Structure 1
Amino acid sequence: MGSLQLKSIRKTYGIHEVLKGIDLEVKDGEFVIFVGPSGCGKSTLLRSIAGLEDVTSGAVLINGKDETLTPPAKRGIAMVFQSYALYPHLTVKDNMGLGLKQAGTQKDEIDKRVSKASSMLSLEPYLARRPAELSGGQRQRVAIGRAIVREPALFLFDEPLSNLDAALRVQTRLEIARLHRSLKATMIYVTHDQVEAMTLADKIVVLNAGAIEQVGSPMELYNRPANVFVAGFIGSPMMNFIPGDKVADAGAKTVGVRPEHLALSREQGTWRAKVVHVEHLGADTIIYLESEQCGLITARLFGEHKYEPDDIVYATPDTGHMHRFDADDQAIR
């Protein structure tokens, strides 16, 4: 449906540079997620693609055509916002079809597209209702349906699940994934939630302070982070970082070990530590340890384990899954 190229996108507000020369290619049909901490520029980048922000320099190409100066309504994109932005006095059907009506689309065509979208999103029973009569998840589906009926080149999502409770987030995440497979559409999605990023994306773009740190598939970023920032941002609980001089033959300033790659023993091991806190999650047990050598480290054990605060244990890293980083915090391959 649509491809996207960003060429040296910069955005400044006065002396403050928000986007620092972003280069990115999104292929037709890809699901790409921008992820990063608050203030990293991910929403500004999405709004720049939509045309809701004027870029200071650079080019936005959609389907190979330079759309940098094209008004938002003519870019062939549809955007789903964090706030549902539904008209309270209109029915679900009229909310979904309003953009087409304003564009002069024939009524029969509007009805056809609304019917198709409502079927995909299981909204048929609610077409005559108004937003106040819907749950948060249903309202978000209406907002997504309003985007679908436009049949855009690009779907843009700006933290669409952040207003939903945990159960609804999971349900709506599954619906968005199913929708992507069904439409085979190009989707660009902004979130601060790495679980959303890891479970939905074909490709993740990790942003930090207005620049791209790494682009890759979820498991590429998880297994081969380019630097300390990506290694610490992707994965929950986050990766343990240990000074290289505390690890034999490390040859690195910093060594990273994910919590699931630490084995615990009560008898012997590499680092002696005291249990600080234990989280019993059923499927997993998360154990926080204080080590004289390494400071605070985290272990993730599969299943239920009977450790208690103040227990003395020994943590041993899996040397086959260590990540090494140099003095500039870049990965040593």
Structure 2
Amino acid sequence: MGALELKAVGKSFGKTEVIRGVDLTVEDGEFCVFVGPSGCGKSTLLRIIAGLEDASAGDILLDGQRINDVAPAKRELAMVFQSYALYPHLTVRDNMGLALKQAGVAKAEIAAATDKAADMLALGPLMDRRPAELSGGQRQRVAIGRAIVRRPKLFLFDEPLSNLDAALRVATRIEIARLHRELAATMIYVTHDQVEAMTLADKIVVLRAGRVEQVGAPMQLYNDPDNVFVAGFIGSPQMNFLKAAALGEQGETLGIRPEHLEVSRKAGRFAAQISHVEKLGGETLVYARSETHGLLTTRLFGEHDFAVDETVHLTPLAERGFRFDAEGQRMR
């Protein structure tokens, strides 16, 4: 079991309030991702759950038991850090089994647990190496393996892929998703990368300035954002925000995803001048500036030959748009 509940959790450093009354339930076996811009409080909230920071207010419950005053080592959690945090003088095998050794677990049980984790992570040939002899991706797999052997109720990941190159980020992301399915474990994962959030999460928690803006499944947040902040944060490229009145639409702002903004050389709702074109093979991103709406992004599938400084005509698919009021809240 690994169900987590946060009740009105707050955190202040002196007079500075960084976590503001967070209420959240993470179900047993769920993969929950915290996302938000730098400084939004996502890593601080994770550290509060882990016991590395004390909550200034509220309660933290694991499987119904309040753990605010429980020491980090006794919370039945395992944390994977961005920095790997491996002991350089120990082998992979010893790094993975150290926590069990310190807990007085029998050698045979430690060996069985580390071998099983090594099989899951394809670390078998590396077990007698030291961290200096490993690549970044291999070190991160060792850190994940060290968490697995502890058999925690809850896995905590603090931006574990940030130090990896693009290809390794994708490969390791796939491994983490596979491990979640195989272990059926509860996982909480912090990232600033909304692509990681969208591809890994059962549930995404969007944070801003220490508050929860919205909680939901990835496509729920993509297709049904509550406000301008969530609409703009979830999705890559970012949603376009147009002046609703200039288009004869209700509200203050009309939000349009790049794939729902049509571009034509012949005709459209308004003119714009192309500022930049990104040809990615499978898709083309066209950035065009309108006098009324500013810089806008349109996503086209396949290859297209638009050129910088070319004048084009843009048409938002209003039926696929999101309307927001003057306070940035969704109009439904």
Instruction: Settle same-fold status: TM greater than 0.5.
Output: yes
Aligned partners of 2:105, 2:63: CA distance in 1, in Å? 23
Query: 1:24 maps to what in 2?
Result: 24
Query: 1:184 maps to what in 2?
Result: 184
Q: CA shift at 1:151, angstroms?
A: 0.3
Query: 1:62 maps to what in 2?
Result: 62
Aligned partners of 1:165, 1:271: CA distance in 2, in Å? 40
Query: 2:260 maps to what in 1?
Result: 261
Aligned partners of 1:258, 1:331: CA distance in 2, in Å? 15
Pairing 1:214-293 to 2, within 5 Å after superposition: 214-248=214-248, 250-293=249-292
Which amino acid in the other structure matches residue 263 of structure 2? L
Listed one character per residue, the Cα deviations across residues 55-93 of structure 1 (whole Å, up to 9, x for unaligned) are 101000001100011000111100000001101110000
Q: CA shift at 1:320, angstroms?
A: 1.7
Aligned partners of 1:100, 1:2: CA distance in 2, in Å? 20
Query: 2:72 maps to what in 1?
Result: 72
Which amino acid in the other structure matches residue 290 of structure 1? R
Query: 1:135 maps to what in 2?
Result: 135
Query: 2:169 maps to what in 1?
Result: 169
RMSD of aligned alpha carbons: 0.6
Listed one character per residue, the Cα deviations across residues 185-229 of structure 1 (whole Å, up to 9, x for unaligned) are 000000000110000000000000000000000001101111000
Query: 1:194 maps to what in 2?
Result: 194
Aligned partners of 1:93, 1:271: CA distance in 2, in Å? 63
Listed one character per residue, the Cα deviations across residues 23-57 of structure 1 (whole Å, up to 9, x for unaligned) are 00000000000000000000000000000000101
Q: In structure 2, the residue corresponding to 1:206 is in which secondary structure?
A: strand
Q: In structure 2, the residue corresponding to 1:328 is in which secondary structure?
A: coil
> Runs of 5+ in structure 1 lacking a partner?
none
Listed one character per residue, the Cα deviations across residues 91-134 of structure 1 (whole Å, up to 9, x for unaligned) are 00000000000011111110110010000000000001111111
Listed one character per residue, the Cα deviations across residues 253-306 of structure 1 (whole Å, up to 9, x for unaligned) are 111001110111111110111111101111111111111221111111111101
Which amino acid in the other structure matches residue 20 of structure 2? K
Query: 1:112 maps to what in 2?
Result: 112
Q: CA shift at 1:244, angstroms?
A: 1.4
Query: 1:122 maps to what in 2?
Result: 122
Aligned partners of 1:220, 1:169: CA distance in 2, in Å? 25
Which amino acid in the other structure matches residue 240 of structure 2? N
Name the % identity: 65
Which amino acid in the other structure matches residue 310 of structure 2? D
Query: 1:305 maps to what in 2?
Result: 304
Aligned partners of 1:130, 1:291: CA distance in 2, in Å? 56
Aligned partners of 2:236, 2:217: CA distance in 1, in Å? 17
Aligned partners of 1:243, 1:270: CA distance in 2, in Å? 13
> Runs of 5+ in structure 2 lacking a partner?
none
Consecutive aligned runs of 4 or more in structure 1 exceeding 4 Å deviation: none
Query: 2:327 maps to what in 1?
Result: 328
Aligned partners of 1:168, 1:142: CA distance in 2, in Å? 14
Query: 1:101 maps to what in 2?
Result: 101
Query: 1:294 maps to what in 2?
Result: 293
Query: 1:38 maps to what in 2?
Result: 38
TM-score scaled by structure 2? 0.99
Query: 1:204 maps to what in 2?
Result: 204
Which amino acid in the other structure matches residue 47 of structure 2? R
Aligned partners of 1:238, 1:58: CA distance in 2, in Å? 34
Which amino acid in the other structure matches residue 101 of structure 2? K
Aligned partners of 1:102, 1:34: CA distance in 2, in Å? 31
Aligned partners of 1:324, 1:132: CA distance in 2, in Å? 53
Q: In structure 2, the residue corresponding to 1:6 is in which secondary structure?
A: strand
Aligned partners of 1:214, 1:140: CA distance in 2, in Å? 30
